[in-house]
Structures are given as structure tokens and as C-alpha cells.
Amino acid sequence: MPSGFLTRAYKYPPVDTSKRVQTRTEKGHLVLVQLQYGKPPVLANYTPPCHCPSHDFSKIVLDWNATCKGRQFDRIFGIWLDGVVLLRSCTAEPRATGIVWSVKRAIRRYYSLLVKNETQSLAVYLGNLVDRTCTGVYHVDITVYYYPAEKKFNDFERNLENLASGYGSRADLILPIPRNFPLNDGLWFEIENSTDTGGKEIKIPQNVFRAVLEVYVSFHESDEFWYGNPPNDYLLANNLTDTAGKSSAWGTRLLHSPADSSTLIGPRNGPFGEVVVTLDGNVIGAIWPFTMVYTGGINPLLWRPISGIGSFDLPSYDIEITPFLGNMLDDFTGLNGTFLTKANRSISSTGWVKSSHGKIMTKAIQKFSYSNSMVMGDNGNVQMVNQEIHFDDSVQVKKAYTFSKAKKSCMRFLIDLYSNNMDQGNRTYLSIANVTLGFNEEKFGVRGSGYKMPVSSLENLQNGQGIMVVKNNLVVSGVGSTQQKYKDEGNNRHVAVK
């Protein structure tokens, strides 16, 4: 276990003039001594104040006070109550003579968690490193202040107030989504690359009418200065394989000539950052995060005495997931649902080349359209898919002193699928599948006026029906058939086959 302890002391009553009074102030005193990376969080029991004249609080504030003396880098830290993030922050960089700083954060939005009448676990993680170079040790006091409401609302008045403001700001239930213990790190998920994911299963009560997902995001190591990460093509073209030796936002250090992007280490992959949230594999929200600069970022001297926006109180991002509650609350959670996926893309490029034919100007345009409608039913045993992809491709060529020439092609790819697996008992099921698969293409010549002249057309369509009996994952019997229509016209070709 890390070297640290938390003791609790009570002040009752505090000074009335501060208006945080008329109730006991609960104070946790936390000392972190040579807390190292790779160690578990410091844990302590938390219970809400139980001897207060009032149990209706208008404001609840978390107060972090810390000191450090010596040399130390900026460190990320977090505070969790029962797995729910109360604060994610960055430490101040100390001076040789020492430094004192404090962070106050309103945490009333976690009201139902903070006043829960049971003992909960408070976790604090600060991944510090103390050695001959980094000598700073952080000493921390954590205090929670409860401010009693000046007016006591009954349930009807509180609900009326929430209704008037649209949605109430207080959640009746807060479900944590942390990593599971045992841990030698914080309770946060570490996303190492663009394909890495972190997730957890949760169970939601059936009477929920609104749900919001709160997400905290912070960037570290090679992604700390993500907004200045160079594209991989730039690094490869300049034989820069290690950019870990950064001097400001990022820097470069040449090690050897890379063969491909897999040899790159340090800041890379370009300056775009996105966090995508999925539910049962479907995208339900995304975050394009605020550009956070920590207290040692870019140039540490910039942040004395002022610190970068949000560096002491990292922002969180709310994603409204109420539209997905219907599927989440289904008796067969996540297995039944209707999904619509659409995408569009357009790419246009123009350039010229000088040749023996003169100066030739070429313009190429690609347009893509994608649509997929999917229905899952019968606890995932029935699936219906309707998908279409449209791809238009045009090229316009113009030589000096001549009319332009253009051609255009329009392609359409489609698939309609119906599948149903019907349980027959005795580890046997009946599998039914109907599928339509199509490929259509039309080509045109385009005159200067924009009039399209048909050049050729191709239609290739298949319809299939199949049924089979499967036992112990082996096909026992079945039958299937497919009909195909092929029609090719143009360029003196006329072919039709059924």
C-alpha cells in the first residue's frame, strides 16, 4: 500500500458568518509521503454528516489544499467517491522555497451520492515520483463543506422547480464507471492508441426518464501536447522517428531512418484528438476536448502565478444518452433495437500538367453517400439490414484553346438481408436467411452544357433464399437457391441473363 493516511475531524458548529454553517463541517486530512507511480490509490471511509440540524444543502464544496517544497514536475491526480470522479486536477510545480495552492470545486451535482446514508470508499491517487532529482513531497488537506439551504423545499416544490428549468440539475442516482480494483494507478481508463477502448457494464433502473453520461478527459505522455503533434508523413519524410525529447510543445531528435510509421515513437499521428463513446458497439456521442495546458506545459514560467485555464479543475463533458434509454431498459438489454447509420463524403481536386499536348487542366470529383438501416429483434435472433452505397466519380479535362471533355460514372451497391435463428431445443436451431445483393453502374459523357450522354449501364442483381438445420454448431440439413439478373448495355453490348 502507498504511504499515506486519512483522518477525520469534525467542527461543530463552524463560524456562522460564513453561511456554510449551522451544520458540522467534515474534514479529511490526507498526507501523501513519497507516493510513487505504480502504487494503489489511498483509500478512506466516507460517511455524510449525520448530526446536522439540516440535511438539505444548497451547496457542497470540495476544498483541496496542498503544499510542496523542492523540485517536482506537474502531476495529474484524481479524487473518487465510490468510483465517481469528484475532481481531476494537476498539481502546481513547486519552487525550492515551497509552494501552497488550493482548489475549490462545487460538487453538489453529486448530491445523491454525497448524502447517501452508508459508508463509501473515498479514493485519492497522485502519481508522484520522489528521487534525488524530484524531491518534492505533497502534503494535502481535503475538506468538504456542506452549506444548508436557507429555504426548505418539499418534494412537490423541488419537482416544480426542476420542471420549470427543463430538467433538474440533481441526479437521483449516480452510477460509477471506473476501472475495477485492485489497481496500481488511478481509477481512470488509460486509452493507449486509436483502437484501444475502456468500458464497463452497468445496470439501469426501469423507472429512469433521463440519463446523462459525464466524461473526464486528460492527455499525457506523447499526447500531452496533442495539438502540436506532427503528421506521420512529415516525420517519415524527415527521418524523425523519436520526438520524445520535446523542448516546448514538442521537439525532435533523430535516431535512424524509419521504414514505416510503426517505428515512430513520441508525439505523432497529427494534431486532431477525439474521444468516441459507444453503447453496445454503436456510437452515441463524441468529445472534441478543450486544449488543456498543465502547470509545466510549453514553458513552466508562463504559469507563475497564474495557471492555464482549467489546469487545476479539469472540465468534464456531458453526453445526453436519454434517446437510448428505450433500448437500454429493454428486457433484453442491448440485444433488441433499431439503428440508422448515415455518412457522406466529397473529395475534389484540381491541377494542371504541361506536356507535349500542351497545358492540361484536370478536375476530379468523388462523392460518396452511405445509408444503413438495421433492426435487431427477438433477443438478437432476428436481424434485418438494408444498406445502400452511392459512389459518383467525375473527371473533367481541358486543354488550352479546346473545349473541355468530361466523363462521369454513378455506382450503387446494395444489400438487403433478413436472418432468423429459431431455437428448436436440444442444442438445435433453424436458420433462415434471405438476401438481395446488387451492383449497378452507369457511365456518361458530359458536354460543356452539363448534358449527360449515356455511354453504358450495368445491372447485376442476386436474390437468395436459404434454410438449414444446425445442431451443435454443425449443419444437419437444409436447402438454398439464388437467382441472378445480369444486364449490360452500351459500347455496342447488349447482354441480359436471368
Flag whether 330 is in a domain. Answer: no
Flag whether 263 is in a domain. Answer: no
Whether residues 319 and 346 fall in one domain? no
Q: Of 303, 324, 345, which one is at a domain's C-terminal end?
A: 324
Q: In which domain, by residue range, is 480 found?
A: 335-497
Whether residues 439 and 489 fall in one domain? yes
Whether residues 306 and 348 fall in one domain? no
State the Cα–Cα distance between residues 107 and 84, nearest whole angstrom.
11
Q: Of 324, 344, 360, which one is at a domain's C-terminal end?
A: 324
State the Cα–Cα distance between residues 75 and 184, nearest whole angstrom.
16
Flag whether 452 is in a domain. Answer: yes
Whether residues 316 and 340 fall in one domain? no
Going by C-alpha positions, the residue among 458, 390, 377 that lies closest to residue 420 is 377
Flag whether 42 is in a domain. Answer: yes
Flag whether 350 is in a domain. Answer: yes
Whether residues 283 and 432 fall in one domain? no
pTM: 0.60
Whether residues 73 and 157 fall in one domain? yes
Whether residues 211 and 313 fall in one domain? yes
Whether residues 179 and 65 fall in one domain? yes
Whether residues 396 and 284 fall in one domain? no
Whether residues 283 and 356 fall in one domain? no
C-alpha cell at 27: 474534514
Going by C-alpha positions, the residue among 227, 93, 115, 237 that lies closest to residue 170 is 115
| pLDDT by residue, tens only, the chain of 498 residues | 232 333 333 232 332 223 333 333 444 444 444 445 557 788 888 988 877 777 788 889 999 999 888 888 888 899 999 999 999 999 988 777 888 899 999 999 999 999 998 999 999 988 888 888 888 888 888 888 888 887 665 554 554 444 444 444 578 999 998 888 777 778 888 887 777 778 788 888 888 888 889 999 998 888 888 887 878 877 787 777 654 433 333 333 333 333 444 444 467 777 788 888 888 778 888 888 888 888 888 888 888 888 888 899 998 899 888 888 877 776 544 477 788 888 888 888 888 777 777 787 888 888 989 999 988 888 778 899 999 999 898 888 887 766 677 888 899 999 999 999 999 999 999 999 999 999 999 988 876 555 667 888 999 999 999 999 999 888 899 999 999 999 988 765 555 566
Question: Per residue in 307-318, is it b (16+ CB within 10 Å) or e — as a string?
Answer: bbeebbbbeebe
Number of structural domains (the chain) is 2
C-alpha cell at 48: 455524510
Neighbours of 170 (CB within 10 A): 13
CB of 455 within 8 A of CB of 445?
yes
Flag whether 184 is in a domain. Answer: yes
Whether residues 363 and 431 fall in one domain? yes
Whether residues 158 and 293 fall in one domain? yes
State the Cα–Cα distance between residues 280 and 178, nearest whole angstrom.
18
Flag whether 33 is in a domain. Answer: yes
Flag whether 248 is in a domain. Answer: no
